[in-house]
Amino acid sequence: MSKYIDTSAIIQVIGSVFKDPSLLDDNRYSFNETDFPERFHKVLFGTIYNLHILGAKKIDINAIEDYLAQRPKSYAIYKTNKGHEYLQEILDKNMIAAFDYYYNRVKKMSLFRAYSEIGLDLSWIYDIDNIFDAQKKQEQEDFIDNHSLVELADMIDNKISSIKNGILDNVNHKSMQAGDGIFDLLTKLKEEPAIGYPLYGPLINAVTRGARLKKFYLRSAPTGVGKTRSMIADACNFACNKIYKDGKWVPNGTKEPTLYITTEQEKDEIQTMMMAFLADVDEDHIVRYEYDMGEEKRVYEAANIIADSPIYIVTLPNFTMKDIENSIKAEIREHNVKYICHDYIHSSMAILGEISSQSGVKGLREDNILFMISTRLKDICNEYGVFIISSTQLNGDYRDAKVYDQNLLRGAKAIADKIDVGIIMFDVMPEDLEGLSPLIQKKNLETPDVKMVVYKNRGNKYHNILLWCKAKKHSCRFEPLYITDYSYRIIPVQDMEIGVIEKKGDQ
């Protein structure tokens, strides 16, 4: 058993939740089995937790013993350790007013145990075997008490990173002759052109060459235009291999592992949008459960497709940069995620505190924070070979703008420095329809209701162009119709159909 155990802190935590089980409902606290390394403590805490979850109005020693009586193995552990007397003693000695302190001690010991169990020597931060140097022991105890769980984890991670960087820096620094491997590159491009997995909708792939790995795309818009809904469409297009189109279910390529990070919507809000997109059903019909003929069956089929697809949702309402990075890294590791939809780049109280703490600078401007987020997202693209698409709000200048570019991004135009493709979405305005009217009449074109402005398109020939779209926002479908320049002159672009082959084993 690991040596990093603070039994007195564990006893205080168990005593506090015994006295006040509502602590288990407080979002500030989280518990798991690893917090209680001894079987007896697992039995006590687990019993209190389960009784609370089951709706017990009152939890006392009798309720605990009645619960355990139905579980012989756990009850034997309870009896062997004189559980009745033990519970009475911790109730008498419990200091619930100091719960936060003891809770944090338990979590810090869990952290140390986890690192110790993979072979790390943590004596530099907490030497549990030190019994002779009282001053060092007290200094380490004070150090641990005066630093948060996150700070301690970062210190350990930074120490590992410094060792890694010290060894690898010289290895990674090397030059090469410019022609090295150049013919292999040409052969590779002949066999596999630099084209990514298709984004949703016509023309958009001709403009961007699809969702290319190691690239970072940004699609910004004012509130209500469809940032989230267009991103839902792309996430489902990556991960789901069937979609309802032209009155029937049709194949939709491969099922690519995809992560959707939401910072504002709840899981069920994301799920209803996903079903609306795949089934081509108004989301309002789904949430009201009021379907037109045939829609309910389509929605259930969409639900089955989503349940069978490698698409994962992470909710980060009050996030730090570490939260974003750790979520992405975990999904890459656990589910081999290659396509990441992050909705959307903005600051939070947690991220302000994180960056101020790391940099030692207070009062950082929002533009500094947002630039740091976009920089880290681009770094993740390169480091892990993934595709990321995110979004931002626009500032108030967009209402009077004549040129649409990064200067309209709310908070920091420098965000656009790190992106490979930059798009801004707007609802079509009366002046747009006036400018388009001669073209629509002459070529008998459909009238759009959303325009996408491509203001940055690194490595592609199409930029400073307008994609005019027909939007079915309630089913998250945005269909580009045609492309013009700012003067409403048509730009002929041949649509690009990106072919994908179904993977073996997929249905």
Over the stretch 460-478, which tens digit does the pLDDT of each residue have? 888 889 999 999 999 999 9
Query: Which class does domain 193-484 fall in?
Result: alpha beta
Backbone phi, psi, residue 476, to 5°: 60, 30
Average pLDDT of the chain, as a whole number: 88
Query: Which pLDDT does position 316 carry in this prediction?
Result: 87
Whether 392 contacts 416, CB under 8 Å: no
Query: Which pLDDT does position 363 carry in this prediction?
Result: 57
Q: How far apart are CA 339 and CA 330, in angstroms?
A: 13
Segment among 63-72, 328-337, 368-377 with least mean pLDDT: 368-377
Give Cα separations from 105 to 14, 131, 141, 148 (angstroms): 13, 20, 10, 10
Q: How far apart are CA 273 and CA 282, in angstroms?
A: 9
Q: Tell me the mean pLDDT in the region 78-100.
A: 92
Check pLDDT > 60 for residue 174. Answer: no
Whether 125 contacts 146, CB under 8 Å: no
- Structural tokens at position 286: 């789904």
Can you tell me which residue has the tokens 């066999």? 191
Check pLDDT > 50 for residue 506. Answer: no
Segment among 57-61, 321-325, 334-338, 403-407 with least mean pLDDT: 403-407
Segment among 209-213, 217-221, 401-405, 489-493 with least mean pLDDT: 401-405
Query: Which pLDDT does position 411 carry in this prediction?
Result: 66
Write out the DSSP string of 202-232.
TTHHHHH-SB-TT-EEEEE--TTSSHHHHHH
* pTM assigned to the model: 0.67
Q: Is 455 helix (H, G, I), strand (E, B) or coil?
A: strand
Segment among 20-34, 151-165, 221-235, 279-293 with least mean pLDDT: 151-165
The H helix count followed by the E strand count for the chain is 18, 11
* Amino acid present at 109: M
CB within 8 A of 296, min separation 6: which ones?
A: none
Query: Which pLDDT does position 85 carry in this prediction?
Result: 93
Q: How far apart are CA 408 and CA 415, in angstroms?
A: 11
Domain parsing of the chain, residue ranges:
7-153, 193-484
Query: Which pLDDT does position 185 carry in this prediction?
Result: 74
Residue 505's pLDDT band (boundaries 50, 70, 90)?
very low
| Element containing residue 484 per DSSP (H, E) | strand 477-484
Query: Which pLDDT does position 399 carry in this prediction?
Result: 80
Over the stretch 130-142, which tens digit does the pLDDT of each residue have? 888 889 989 999 9
Query: Which pLDDT does position 313 carry in this prediction?
Result: 94
- Structural tokens at position 296: 């309910």
Q: How far apart are CA 260 and CA 235, in angstroms?
A: 7
Over the stretch 380-400, which tens digit does the pLDDT of each residue have? 999 999 999 999 888 778 787
Over the stretch 1-57, which tens digit does the pLDDT of each residue have? 467 999 999 999 999 999 999 899 888 898 888 899 999 999 999 999 999 988 887
| Architecture of the domain whose range is 7-153 | Orthogonal Bundle (1.10)
Backbone phi, psi, residue 393, to 5°: -80, 170
Query: Which pLDDT does position 171 carry in this prediction?
Result: 46
Is it true that 7-153 and 193-484 share their CATH fold?
Answer: no
Query: Which pLDDT does position 360 carry in this prediction?
Result: 55
Can you tell me which residue has the tokens 């001709």? 206
Q: Which of 396, 382, 316, 300 is nearest to 351 (CA)?
A: 316
Segment among 121-130, 308-317, 332-341 with least mean pLDDT: 121-130
| End-to-end Cα, the chain, rounded Å | 46
Query: Which pLDDT does position 355 carry in this prediction?
Result: 65
Label residue 388 exposed, middle or buried (CB < 10 Å: 0-12, 13-18, 19+): buried
Query: Which pLDDT does position 497 carry in this prediction?
Result: 79
Which residue pairs from 125-132 have beta carbons closer than 8 angstroms and sit at least 24 positions apart in sequence? Answer: 125/152, 125/155, 125/156, 126/4, 128/3, 128/4, 129/3
